Amino acid sequence: MKRWLFFAACLLAACTSEPRWELVWEDDFDGVSLDTTIWSRIPRGGADWQNTLTFDDRCYEVRDGRLVLHGVVNPDPAADTVAYWTGGVWTRGKHAFEGGRVEIRARFGSARGAWPAIWMLPFDGAAHPYPHGGEIDIMEHLNHDSLVYQTVHSHYTLHLGGADEPPHFTTAAIDPADFNVYGVEFCRDSLVFSVNGRRTFAYPRIETPKEGQFPFDIAYELLLDMQLGGSWVGAVDPAELPVRMEIDWVRHYKMKE
């Protein structure tokens, strides 16, 4: 057995014993607007995940105890040349997640070119620039799939040939028409992913002479975004829009002493 397989098996077994978790923070979106002490709307950028984002209120709702992020055909092409508008929020500069377990209960519509994501980047991006500080993709969904991707990225996986030693992603089956709970646990020597409380994937810290294999013992920000289109998800079918992503709650747990 390869050494990383041994580590992965041991760490997944260790983290599957039920720890005593204590809820330390949550947002259940029970208000009438987004809590701007925690969340900000994500500005548009050049990357595929960011190039249709808008601040327009038509892509954001807080109602019925849920945050709703919309993906729509651009209703004002004279003022904005992008084909589509999408909503996304993050906790950048406002709220950090460090250690413990992070869970998000969410549901999203399916459409060709739809790419809702729940993910994490270093809270202090200046001290931990991408990709050296790592990226944790708690959930990504593509098109009409009945599965989600759960992935880690780092300097080691992207630039040093370490994507397969140890494997850096998995897929997990879901019912895309229903709410599901997506989670990640920050264990001392691994990240452990879950869907609906069932462990799906463990990414272990291993011994390697290559740098940056496990940068995940720092504070992270959380991103929730309803993206449309891109080189990975493919082209958008505007006839299948609008599409939306609903977030019921976000919770952060720490293990009791």
Q: Can 26 be counted among the known catalytic residues? A: no
- Note if 140 is an active site residue: yes
Residue ranges and CATH numbers for the domains of the chain are 3-255 (2.60.120.200)
Mean of per-residue pLDDT scores for the chain: 94
Q: Provide the residue type at 139 as one letter.
A: M
- Write down the catalytic residue from 61, 103, 135, 246: 135
Cα separation of 235 and 257, whole Å? 49
Active-site residue among 140, 185, 221, 246? Answer: 140
**In this prediction, what percent of the chain has a pLDDT beyond 90?**
91
The per-residue pLDDT for 93 is 98
For 162, residues 6+ apart whose C-beta sits below 8 A from its C-beta are 154, 156, 168, 208, 210, 213
Average pLDDT over residues 195-219: 97
64: region left, alpha or beta (phi > 0 left; psi from -120 to 50 alpha) = left
Query: Which residue, chain included where needed, has tokens 């294999």?
Result: 213
Name the pLDDT band for 7 (thresholds 50, 70, 90): very low
113-127 pLDDT per residue, tens? 999 999 999 999 999
